[in-house]
Structure 1
């Protein structure tokens, strides 16, 4: 499951059809199952989890009665298990967990655990300004906080080095994270972070994660990444390191 979810975030953002390393075999299992349900044309069964496969998977989720975040085109544990019944077994499952409160905002338990570990590495607490599951809460967020895994973090009292250190800690535990400045858009200084491979991600956050893997800054103009260089890992990969 980890490999399939990773590919579903990265592949739609690629400018070519390079396959996500280590994901081809798992993606093919999913695509063949979608093909056999007549949700995906055979020509797209290629191990590349691009936008066509994402759309097909979303159709499968909707056929199960799922709506909104549950039909976002990212394979969740329950839908993937149902798709694979009699065909394949789901391993390395990802579970966002229940919704909980952090700094008067809402996140899921996976995101809360990631944030706590980043704070431990950093040696200081971080204040969450905007959490997840907040559709329409901040128009400047462009939908990134509509689903799970998204955080905006205060940088009040931080100098440049402290901001960079915070982003580095967040990236180390599995966030795609950047310092956002007033020069980029109509928002104050803050850190924007998205939990990689959170299966509740909004489509906008999925795109930001894909761009992060491709060395971009997660903004609409898709400029180069301006954050500290850190080996990209998911939370699950970080915990196994």
Structure 2
């Protein structure tokens, strides 16, 4: 059963500090979802694979059927059972399918912890998973977006996205310039909220040939982005490459939908057309690192 999903984006006040030539940004109020949580000593507890759960939470709500995300069932069941025990999810939905019903329940749990905005986006983060699993399960394959940093001279991303962009540059042997960064709520209206949270960038393609644009999109996909070359014929925008980092737990709901559509062979646009990007093996950033 699929229910409506809601998202909110909040802009936190920031404090700038200089770290090795890179401008780091730490939220004054903070993204509490990614603060460290106390470790559990219960080594005998089952483990939740955070990578698998987050992937399912992006893909399952976009599925036209009830197929389960491969490799995620056992971990999703542990999360759903914990949500059900907290009376946030009806037991009939404890099925290993992280659809919109489970996502809505997880959002309620995040809000019960006091999380707001992107910290209550329905994607399990390190801190909330640890708190949900206290006495029930441990968490492995942890994903942490990291603090905000400046990429180039104007736009901000988180450190996970920064590492992905730098690796794409190495593959391409060229510098990438952003037209838009992350954490930009209320920015370009044509982005329809995809840049409200983390993990999303637009790449400037000025002066690039069609072949070079495709090569850039391919490199972005190889390091863990869902990336597409966008043309003026598709919307009210100039040529650019839109890229959304798979499994970034700071994603806005709109960006989460793009990831799910990418896995389902679609173009990440509202028309949910066929994927028109270069064909690569779909991997998250963490999967890319392990495969190197």
Would you call these one fold, judging by a TM-score over 0.5? yes
Which residue number corresponds to residue 59 of structure 1?
Answer: 108
Which residue number corresponds to residue 68 of structure 1?
Answer: 117
Which residue number corresponds to residue 138 of structure 1?
Answer: 188
SS of equivalent residue, structure 2 residue 201:
strand
Deviations 1:75-113 (A, max 9, x none): 000000000000000000000001000121010000000
Which residue number corresponds to residue 159 of structure 1?
Answer: 209
- Distance apart, 1:226 and its partner CA: 0.1
State whether structure 2 residue 274 is matched by structure 1 residue 224. yes
Taking the TM superposition and a 5 Å limit, the aligned residue runs for 1:27-42 are 27-42=76-91
Which residue number corresponds to residue 172 of structure 2?
Answer: 122
State whether structure 2 residue 73 is matched by structure 1 residue 24. yes
Give distance in 2, aligned partners of 1:194 and 1:74.
15
Give distance in 1, aligned partners of 2:280 and 2:68.
22
SS of equivalent residue, structure 2 residue 202:
strand
Deviations 1:96-137 (A, max 9, x none): 001000121010000000000001001101101100000011
TM-score (norm 2): 0.82
Runs of 4+ residues deviating >6 angstroms: none
Query: Which structure has greater helix proportion?
Result: 1
- Distance apart, 1:194 and its partner CA: 0.4
Give distance in 2, aligned partners of 1:69 and 1:100.
17
What is the number of residues matched between the two proteins?
A: 241
Give 1 or 2 for the bigger CA radius of gyration. 2
Give distance in 2, aligned partners of 1:176 and 1:204.
13
SS of equivalent residue, structure 1 residue 162:
helix
- Distance apart, 1:201 and its partner CA: 0.1
Deviations 1:183-233 (A, max 9, x none): 011000000000000000000000000000000000001000000000000
- Distance apart, 1:69 and its partner CA: 0.3
SS of equivalent residue, structure 1 residue 114:
helix
Give distance in 2, aligned partners of 1:229 and 1:191.
15
- Distance apart, 1:238 and its partner CA: 0.4
Q: Which runs of 5+ in 2 are unaligned?
A: 1-49
- Distance apart, 1:39 and its partner CA: 0.1
State whether structure 2 residue 255 is matched by structure 1 residue 205. yes
Give distance in 2, aligned partners of 1:56 and 1:125.
42
- Distance apart, 1:64 and its partner CA: 0.1
State whether structure 2 residue 265 is matched by structure 1 residue 215. yes
Choose which of 209, 228, 233 in structure 2 pairs with 1:183.
233
- Distance apart, 1:23 and its partner CA: 0.2
State whether structure 2 residue 75 is matched by structure 1 residue 49. no
Query: Which structure has greater strand proportion?
Result: 2
Give distance in 1, aligned partners of 2:90 and 2:253.
23
- Distance apart, 1:166 and its partner CA: 0.2
Deviations 1:52-90 (A, max 9, x none): 000000000000000000000000000000000000000
Deviations 1:16-52 (A, max 9, x none): 0000000000000000000000000011000000000
Taking the TM superposition and a 5 Å limit, the aligned residue runs for 1:97-116 are 97-103=146-152, 104-116=154-166
Choose which of 137, 143, 147 in structure 2 pairs with 1:94.
143
